[in-house]
Amino acid sequence: MNPDSDLSRRGFLGLGGSGLFVLFRVEPLEAFQEPARLPSRQAGPADFNAYLRIGADGRVGCMVGKVELGQGSMTSLAQLLAEELDVALDSVDMVMGDTDLCPWDMGTFGSLSTRVFGPRLRAAGAEARAVLLEMAAERLEVPAARLQVKDGVVSDPSSPAKRVTYAQLVEGKRIERHLAKVPVKPVSAFTVVGKSPRRKDALEKVTGTAKYAADMAIPGTLHARILRPPAHGATLKDVDTSGAGKVAGVRVVKDGDLVAVLHERPDVADQALGLLKAQFDRPQPAVDDKTIFDHLLKAAPHAQVVGESGSLAEGEKLSASIVEETYLNSYVAHAPMETHSAVASFEGGKVTVWVSTQTPFPVKQQLAQALGMTPQNVRVITPYVGGGFGGKSASQQAIEAARLAKITGRPVQVVMDRAEEFFYDSFRPAAVVKIRSGTAADGKLVLWDFQVWGAGDREARPFYDIPHQRTRSAGGWMGGNPPGMHPFAVGPWRAPSVNTNTFARESHIDILANKAGRDPLEFRLSHLSDKRMRRVLEAAAKQFGWKPARTPSGRGVGVACGIYSGTYVATMAEVAVDKGAGAVQVKRVVCAQDQGVTVNPDGSRQQMEGSITMGLGYALTEEVHFKGGEVLERNFDTYRIPRFSWLPKIETILIDNPEVPASGCGEPPIINMGAVIANAIYDAVGARLLQLPMTPERIKEALKRA
């Protein structure tokens, strides 16, 4: 790459300083780009130069294919590198989600940034440090063992004149030396990891200078509004564009299925869109938000057994009482505050696309395919992303922007409006869970037969001690479902599958505790030999001040626990229920989490608070209404997400667990929110909610049944 053009492009975007865009030269990493050339899709390049560059000025560039969605990985990944490399955290400049500059990465999801990518980045830092130490030893003519490193300066403590900086050693060049099997630091030696520094994105985000995809101002940009079908499955019969074409400055593009109006001003393009007269053929709606559950049972593929031990027949024999129950949850939207957006610009046979996405490298591949270009000529840049939660894995707007840019010969911006955002969202699937369980005469759980339709099998298997059990799953969020099973796209939603499976399991356990006349916490602990789960439950109980009682005690307290992506989490909540209105106010939530080593405690707490707050939504209000392929949700007036007035007092507890490597913290606490609130409602008023969200109507119905 020509460094001048690189610098001028950055200069022209007016970006610089801290954060995502740095003013030092980074060579493209084409050798690392293509997944086909990598040993496995999960692994990244082995050469540490792919992840880090030490500039002549001593600044350290850290290149990662991960993106900053709000989860704070810009800071926590910088901490990992600074720790292993022994440089000041402030000297690290993060370059994230730029396919020309960063090593290939699958995407930012599944709480994997810390758990899977973290060790790779640490290894790169540790190896680079060892190489630099070796180089310093040669330069200073001192044995490496005598040298120490602090803030990128290598020195010999016994002779102050013997010192050299990383920058002097590297002189802005690539480091060509390598060492095998350099160990990373032990947890006990950490000085940067385990602290809570100021977030690297703080200043830009409070001053409005943080750039998101739609903020990329390229001279000559046309803003596109695209004709959308009224329902999924509808096909365009005819469109009359004459009205829109008459608006001054509007360009109309018809390219196969893509019909768009473009203008230099987005609001004028939007008005022009309203002037298109289109006719669509719409299929008869086959299913709606009420009939979906019966539909799922019929339309799902054959169930797979995902876990089995003991014998169900034996369990039946041992059971003195059997409890069967069915749990439902609706489709739920991601609804990030930033809608899907992209800006595409062609220049000299290359296209650059700024995209709000969680998957820059897969998007690059899709763009190359859609445009018939070689991947080397496609660059995806991911600026700050305004929330993802799994929903920005799919990024059709990038392809639309690029196609339109190619056709018009101008840079094109596509920003979905809120209705499009709901329409094209890949929802958390609606799902059904049936559980058949049995308890022996001594109160021990001996039988557990669990089946989930629609949601997927993650964390579907119970962690309770149950001798005879089976877990089955039929269809899920990850695709491969029979056509028509879900009337629109479904996909990963913060902790995919696990919200559904945890709601069912933890509600059912509560029902069993109630039937046995036992305290729900004590009942859980009596079936738990898993030490990590016991520990988070006990920590939550201590903070909460849990007092054992049979349900419903009238106090409105509940408990739930679960595992996601290697992280253990226990939640307790207190609610108040207004019986007349069917309204629930969650007053207090205590959440204890064991995520192994904690990279950034404050960042982890922030993610926990975020998960808990967001989880109030799928528990209480969030539900996508639809008729066949028509999504009835258009904006936040009908689709209610959590607000300030809902806010409970939130208390988070991080369990220190240095024996276990760091796992993710951004998703786990959300998994308990459905069940912990359902259980607390039951404890308050004796009404059992079996369907999410627990709307006032459903609460009033459950009260009638109670």
Partner 1 sequence: MQRTISFTLNGKPARVTVDDERMLLWVLRYDLGLTGTKFGCGAAQCGACTVILGKEAVRSCVTPMKDVAGKQVLTIEGLRKDGRLHPIQEAFVKHHAFQCGYCTSGMILNAYALLLKKPRPKRADILRLMDDNLCRCGSHTRIVDAIQEAAGAMKVDAR
- Interface residue list for ligand FES (CB under 6 A): 70, 337, 387
CA distance 182 to 194: 22
CA distance 410 to 219: 9
Contact stretch for partner 1 (CB under 8 A) within 112-120, 176-184, 639-647, 696-704: 639-647
Residue for token pair 């894995």: 393
Residue 586 engages partner 1 in binding (rule: CB under 8 A):
no
Residue 459 backbone zone (phi > 0: left; psi -120 to 50: alpha; other: beta)? left
Q: Which C-beta is closer to partner 1: that of 343 or that of 452?
A: 343
Residue 198 engages partner 1 in binding (rule: CB under 8 A):
yes
Contact stretch for partner 1 (CB under 8 A) within 99-107, 430-438, 474-482, 644-652: 644-652
Q: Which C-beta is closer to ligand FES: that of 146 or that of 205?
A: 205
Sign of CA dihedral 37, 38, 44, 47: negative
Shortest separation between residue 243's beta carbon and partner 1, angstroms = 18
3-state secondary structure of 646: helix
Figure out which of the listed residues 202, 247, 286, 407 binds partner 1, where binding follows CB under 8 A: 202
385 binds, among ligand FES, partner 1, none (CB under 5 to 8 A by kind): partner 1
CB 128 within 8 A of CB 175: yes
Shortest separation between residue 494's beta carbon and partner 1, angstroms = 10
Quote the tokens at residue 548. 């054992």
Before 552, cis peptide (omega within 30)? yes
Q: Nearest-CA neighbor of 620 among 640, 636, 634, 637?
A: 640
Q: Which C-beta is closer to partner 1: that of 13 or that of 46?
A: 13
Range 418-447, binding partner 1 (CB under 8 A): 418
Figure out which of the listed residues 254, 265, 350, 542 binds partner 1, where binding follows CB under 8 A: 265
Figure out which of the listed residues 96, 498, 561, 612 binds partner 1, where binding follows CB under 8 A: 612
Quote the tokens at residue 687. 């009404």
Q: Which C-beta is closer to ligand FES: that of 70 or that of 491?
A: 70
Residue nearest to ligand FES (CB): 337
CB 65 within 8 A of CB 45: no
Shortest separation between residue 70's beta carbon and ligand FES, angstroms = 5
CB 303 within 8 A of CB 450: no
Residue 619 engages partner 1 in binding (rule: CB under 8 A):
no
Quote the tokens at residue 145. 């063992």
> Between β-strands 321-329 and 431-439, what pairing exists: parallel, antiparallel or unpaired?
antiparallel
Shortest separation between residue 386's beta carbon and ligand FES, angstroms = 6
CB 83 within 8 A of CB 125: yes
Total Cβ atoms within 10 A of residue 160: 8
Q: Pattern 367-396, binding to partner 1, x per CB under 8 A?
A: -----------------xxxx-x-------
Residue 66 engages partner 1 in binding (rule: CB under 8 A):
no
Sign of CA dihedral 66, 15, 349, 394: positive
Residue 19 engages partner 1 in binding (rule: CB under 8 A):
no
Give the H/E segment covering residue 254. strand 251-255
Question: Helix/strand/coil (H, E, C) string of 295-331?
Answer: HHHHHCCCCEEEEEECCHHHHHHHCCEEEEEEEEECC
Residue 70 engages partner 1 in binding (rule: CB under 8 A):
yes
19 binds, among ligand FES, partner 1, none (CB under 5 to 8 A by kind): none
Shortest separation between residue 215's beta carbon and partner 1, angstroms = 4
Q: Which C-beta is closer to partner 1: that of 287 or that of 619?
A: 619
Residue 606 engages partner 1 in binding (rule: CB under 8 A):
yes
236 binds, among partner 1, ligand FES, none (CB under 5 to 8 A by kind): none
Before 693, cis peptide (omega within 30)? yes
Q: Which C-beta is closer to ligand FES: that of 70 or that of 596?
A: 70
How far CA 317 is from CA of 12, 176, 323, 498, in Å, comes to: 75, 68, 14, 30
CA distance 71 to 564: 16
Shortest separation between residue 221's beta carbon and partner 1, angstroms = 9
Range 327-346, binding partner 1 (CB under 8 A): 335-339
Contact stretch for partner 1 (CB under 8 A) within 106-114, 292-300, 603-611, 678-686: 603-611
CA distance 689 to 678: 6
Q: What is the DSSP letter of 665?
A: -
**In the beta sheet, which residues pair with residue 380?**
353
Residue 613 engages partner 1 in binding (rule: CB under 8 A):
yes
Residue 359 engages partner 1 in binding (rule: CB under 8 A):
no
In sequence order, what DSSP letters do the residues of 525-573 get, joined into one string?
HTT---HHHHHHHHHHHHHHT----PSP-SS-EEEEEEEETTEEEEEEE
Shortest separation between residue 99's beta carbon and ligand FES, angstroms = 24
Figure out which of the listed residues 47, 288, 316, 602 binds partner 1, where binding follows CB under 8 A: 602
Shortest separation between residue 71's beta carbon and ligand FES, angstroms = 10
Q: Which C-beta is closer to ligand FES: that of 190 or that of 212?
A: 212
How far CA 213 is from CA of 21, 341, 355, 606, in Å, comes to: 13, 6, 5, 24
235 binds, among partner 1, ligand FES, none (CB under 5 to 8 A by kind): none
Residues 6+ positions from 263 with CB-CB distance below 8 Å: 222, 223, 247, 249, 250, 251, 269, 272
CA distance 444 to 438: 9
642 binds, among partner 1, ligand FES, none (CB under 5 to 8 A by kind): partner 1
Q: Which C-beta is closer to partner 1: that of 612 or that of 671?
A: 612
309 binds, among partner 1, ligand FES, none (CB under 5 to 8 A by kind): none
Figure out which of the listed residues 415, 533, 590, 677 binds partner 1, where binding follows CB under 8 A: 415
Figure out which of the listed residues 571, 611, 621, 657 binds partner 1, where binding follows CB under 8 A: 611
Residue 250 engages partner 1 in binding (rule: CB under 8 A):
no
Q: What is the DSSP letter of 610?
A: H
Residues near partner 1, by CB under 8 A = 69-72, 198-199, 201-212, 214-215, 217, 223, 265-267, 335-339, 384-387, 389, 415, 417-418, 602-603, 606-607, 609-614, 635-637, 641-645, 647, 650
